[in-house]
Amino acid sequence: LLEITAQLNASNRSLQHLQQERTEMLANLSHDLRAPLTAIRSAVDYLTSGQSLSAQDIEGALTLIDHRTGTLEHLIRDMYELFTLEDPSHAFSFQELDAPAFLEEYFYTALPDSHYAGHLLCLSVSQDLHATLADPGKLIRILDNLLSNAAKYAPAGTKITLSAAPSADLTSLRISVTDEGPGIPPEDLERIFNRTYTVSSARTPGSATGSGLGLAIVKTITERHGGTVSCENAPGAGSIFSVTLPAKFLQS
């Protein structure tokens, strides 16, 4: 009986924690939705104020509306995706994938993307890898998120490496994206994958915008594969984001 009570208490605590995280995320999201909406509202008020505006003023206000609408679309899309992924009734289509072939094909498809034009993209895949059971579309989402973050936060001209290797005990496949950017402040490493991790705009370069949900999406997809996520600062500078998925390997 004592054991059952302890188990119930533990699941109660984790439910409370989840509930708290969800409330915090909704508070953050409504805050994040409000900022672009306020900007759009003031630009529209400005355009319809009746004062005579130069073509340049009009263009400036329209550009602002365009950017902020993009931010809202991004946020709403990621929010919807995260809620869908967390729904256990949302089925994944798991397939046995040849990991090296899959990663190589992904890499050479992503390479010409203009997102990565300013960076040096490298691939390092161990050929010992073999099959992993994964949903290919969801795996692409993980890779897109990690690589685009690397391109967003690391300065132009630096190297971004996509690598994959088996774990020492050959039971899992570790896929990593390493960059030479600013890295993650050590005090944030623990919570970087949390849905409630709020972006410090001071750290977001230039006009780059994000929903702040990309890494939570990576974590949710990985966990639904039975895997784990991690982030560490690379020696020197930069960060290493990794996902570890259960896998089978060729016997050498």
Smallest distance from the beta carbon of 89 to ligand ADP, in angstroms? 25
User: What is the C-alpha to C-alpha distance for residues 141 and 214, in angstroms, rounded to an integer?
Assistant: 9
Quick one: three-class SS letters along 100-125? HHHHHHHHHHHCCCHHHCCCEEEEEE
Binding segment toward ligand ADP, per CB under 6 A, in 2-10, 126-134, 146-154, 163-171: 146-154
Contact 164, 177 (CB under 8 A): no
Q: 166 vs 238, which CB is nearer to ligand ADP? A: 238
Integer Cα distance of 178 and 193 in angstroms: 16
Kindly state whether residue 213 participates in binding ligand ADP, applying the rule CB under 6 A: yes
91-to-94, 118, 244 alpha-carbon distances in Å = 9, 37, 20
Interface with ligand ADP includes 100 (CB under 6 A)? Answer: no
In the three-class reduction of DSSP (H, G, I as helix; E, B as strand; rest coil), residue 166 is classed as strand
Q: Are 206 and 167 in contact (CB under 8 A)?
A: no
Interaction of residue 151 with ligand ADP, rule CB under 6 A: no
Q: Of residues 134, 181, 244, 247, which one binds ligand ADP by CB under 6 A? A: 181
- Note whether 36 binds ligand ADP by CB under 6 A: no
Of 36, 166, 214, 227, which lies in the binding site for ligand ADP, with binding defined by CB under 6 A?
Answer: 214
Does 125 interact with ligand ADP (rule: CB under 6 A)?
Answer: no
What residues make contact with ligand ADP under the rule CB under 6 A?
145, 149-150, 153, 179, 181-182, 184, 192, 197, 199, 203, 210-215, 239
